[in-house]
Amino acid sequence: MNFIEQIIEEDIQNGKNDAKVHTRFPPEPNGYLHIGHAKSICLNFGMAKKYGGLTNLRFDDTNPVKEDTEYVDSIREDIKWLGFQWAEEHYASDYFDQLYMWAEQLIQEGLAYVDDQTQEEISKGRGVPTAPGVESPYRNRTVEENLDLFRRMRAGEFPDGSKVLRAKIDMASPNMHFRDPIMYRILHAHHHRTGDKWCIYPMYDYAHGQSDSIEGITHSICTLEFEVHRPLYDWFCEALRIHHPQQIEFARLNMTYTIMSKRKLLQLVKENYVNGWDDPRMPTICGLRRRGYTPASLRNFAETVGVAKRDNIIDVSLLEFCVREDLNKTAIRTMAVLDPVKLIIDNYPEDQEEEMIAVNNPEDPEAGTRTVPFAKELWIERADFRENADKKFYRLSIDREVRLKYAYIIKCTHIVKDDAGNITEIHCTYDPMTKSGMPESNRKVKATIHWASVKHAKKAHIRLFDRLFSVPDPDNCEEGQTFLDHLNPNSLVEQDGWIEPTLTLEKAMEIKHFQFERLGYFYADPDSTEDMLVFNKTVSLKQ
Ligand code: ATP
Ligand code: MG
């Protein structure tokens, strides 16, 4: 049991909140969700589900400048794709009227004031944690004056940045967030939902707890950096005498070879370092989806990572392990040759063709079989042949035998090279008695290789990915560097390969996840057309 479950179970036992559990996932619609958000989603929905409760989706849209409905739509899609359904959908902006009334209430009670100082003066006055701050000269305005000024702020009488509303708490508190935090700022900006109704906007600390409270949230789970905000979260709920949810903090998810900041991910997109938010190299949920990650693999990853109280960094190989494990159970097997060289079976009749029976998924008997055409000329992987093979190389070499998967045992006789010395043809003979069902079918050879019939195979476009960054912690920069200096210039390699002809566009789009035998897991990309299927490599078969 993790520490969050411990808190929740204790609350249930004590009958707190009528022993109910109600969580929320509160994204700011200013970017696409990433794997860190997936962790938070799994946690919030997971806790509610475990204790028979509900989870709300709340868009934390208090910052009109950076927000957009494009992001709202993508967030909704990603949560559903992960396999979760929220009970209620809300927007912090729906609470603007209520929040405004509460602000007037705090002014009436002498707990908030309008400050005319500039941003610099305010932060200077806050001082440093080790010494008390300085009170604003406007701190002791009368209730009447504060109410009048606040109403005129709302009415649009003052320019941006000329005034703020601050809570009147304690300028000497060792917690800097307690030194008269800003509740409202003036911002003449169009909001994607409220339009031009407002020209003052609440700050995160003033909006978040109250939004939780309004929705009857019981446990408000957030990341560790909000721990120092918790006293303020509590203060507003107490001062307003409203339902008081409990904020609980856990360590945010960090992962090697990638970044998690929406601002930086946006920069990668805007400045074309990647091909959009759903570029398969991105740590975004839509990027991982296009890479071929499955919802189950991401949920399993979140579960395996668990919840921590201290910041840490998770190795990306754990994520890869999770998707491998899931796809091994479900992905349909296919033969594809990505770096082809021609194999010619000299003793195979010129015009003969056979249909070889191939297993769709050895892990799942119900997935059945298919047939793959076989003929005299085949493509095999260049790496499966070696001219000067030592004892440790078990695959094809002159005078050695291998099995062609689902077909025959062959023996290499000679090779043909071009003027530059590149191998252009590998010649071999086959043993007809070694086909499955034939007397020699059980004969043991040291290796089995995959193939595609030259006459039948279909060309496909393959995208291979490496890590987006070349160092484990791209945010760790030397002076004068930024995370951009750590981008891996070879993170995308595109090439053409040969795949089984049975794979039509319709079938590829329906099945989506494939294991290219011996090569790895691949995902049929939406860029595919009737003429050319496009596959993204999800992950290799082994680490
Ligand atoms: P960024 O700083 O990149 O903009 P954010 O934390 O501001 O991210 P929000 O949209 O506010 O993004 O996040 C919504 C929820 O997801 C919050 O509760 C936040 O704590 C959580 N979250 C964000 N990033 C992570 C992460 N890396 N690990 C776990 N939870 C996260
Ligand atoms: Mg945030």
- Tens of pLDDT, residue by residue over 322-355, are 999 999 999 999 999 999 999 999 999 999 999 9
User: Is 424 in contact with 418 (CB distance < 8 Å)?
Assistant: yes
Residue 158 has pLDDT above 90, yes or no: yes
| Atom number of ligand 1 nearest to Cα 41 | 16
**CB distance 252 to ligand 1 below 6 Å:** yes
Active site residue 386: no
- In percent, the amount of the chain with pLDDT more than 90 equals 96
- Please give the distance of CA 349 from its chain centroid, rounded to a whole number: 52
Name the β-bridge partners of 24.
Answer: 56
Continuous H helices in 294-375: 295-305, 316-330
For atom 16 of ligand 1, which residue has the closest CA?
37
- Residue 441 has a pLDDT of 86
How much is the average pLDDT of 84-111? 98
Could you tell me what percentage of the chain is helix, strand and coil, using 3-state DSSP and rounding each to the nearest 5? Answer: 35, 25, 40
Residue 258 has pLDDT above 90, yes or no: yes
Length of the chain equals: 543
| Other residues' Cβ atoms within 10 Å of the Cβ of residue 63 | 19
User: How do residues 398-409 score in pLDDT, each as one tens digit?
Assistant: 999 999 999 999
Our mutation pick for probing the ligand 1 site, out of 223, 247, 250, counting the most ligand atoms within 8 A of Cβ, is: 223
**Ligand nearest to the CA of residue 40, numbered in listed order:** 1
- Residue 473 has a pLDDT of 96
**CB distance 405 to ligand 1 below 6 Å:** no
User: Is 100 in contact with 67 (CB distance < 8 Å)?
Assistant: no
Name the β-bridge partners of 167.
Answer: 112
Question: Of 28, 77, 227, 354, which is the active-site residue?
Answer: 28
Residue with tokens 């703020």: 164
- Distance (angstroms) between ligand 2 centre and the Cα of 29 equals 10
Q: pLDDT-derived band of residue 490, with 50, 70 and 90 as boundaries? A: very high
Can you tell me whether residue 214 is helix, strand or coil? helix
CA torsion angle 143 148 153 158 (round to 10): -120
Active site residue 252: yes
pTM value is 0.94
**Nearest C-alpha neighbor of 249 from the set 221, 229, 228, 213:** 221
Q: pLDDT-derived band of residue 68, with 50, 70 and 90 as boundaries? A: confident
CA distance 75 to 56: 13
Active site residue 28: yes
- Give backbone dihedrals phi and psi of 22, rounded to 5 degrees, phi first: -140, 115
User: How do residues 395-444 score in pLDDT, each as one tens digit?
Assistant: 999 999 999 999 999 999 999 999 999 999 999 999 999 998 888 888 99
Our mutation pick for probing the ligand 1 site, out of 40, 61, 66, 259, counting the most ligand atoms within 8 A of Cβ, is: 40
307 in the Ramachandran plot: left (φ > 0), alpha (ψ -120 to 50) or beta? beta
**Ligand nearest to the CA of residue 27, numbered in listed order:** 1
